[in-house]
Amino acid sequence: MKYHYRIYAKALAATAAKHLSPEAVTKGAHHFLAVLERNGDRAALPKIVALAEELFLKRGGKKKVVVESARPLVAHARAELENKFAKGDVIEEKIVPSLIAGVRITVNGEEQLDMSFSHKMNKLFT
């Protein structure tokens, strides 16, 4: 790895914060991928993108909310959840069948509310 993934992520987040035209975004993305390829750092792309997203959201005062459930949320539950967070917060829904029932909500990769059936069963039997 020629450069540490944090350096790439900071550059990517700074570029994303600029208000660019769709053409400029496409051109910039192709250039960014070409730089990674040329430097032999393409394997670090998932870590770079994840950290860049975190930095971009933090800079804008926004949150990333991951909602995990055993089955897709019904429309009214999704709408109620969206009303609980600020406009502009990124809400990602993941289906995790091993939760059995209920939801697990993680905010910014740290704060967690686990109301899943599997969590309750684990607490009961450990």
DSSP string, 86-102: -TT-EEEEEE-GGG-SS
User: What residue ranges in the chain does DSSP mark as E strands?
Assistant: 64-69, 90-95, 103-107, 111-114
- Of 60, 59, 65, 113, whose CA–CA distance to 85 is shortest? 65
- Whole-number Å distance between alpha carbons of 8 and 83: 34
Residue of higher predicted confidence among 121 and 68: 68
| Distant-in-sequence, close-in-space partners of 97: CB < 8 Å, separation ≥ 6 | 70
Domain that residue 47 falls in: 5-59
pLDDT in tens, 42-80: 999 999 999 999 999 998 899 999 999 999 999 999 999
Whole-prediction pTM value? 0.73
- Say if residue 100 is in the same domain as residue 70: yes
- Whole-number Å distance between alpha carbons of 41 and 6: 12
Say if residue 6's pLDDT is above 90: yes
Mean of pLDDT over the chain: 91
Tokens read off for 102:
């209920």
Last residue of a domain, one of 44, 59, 74: 59
Last residue of a domain, one of 59, 75, 91: 59
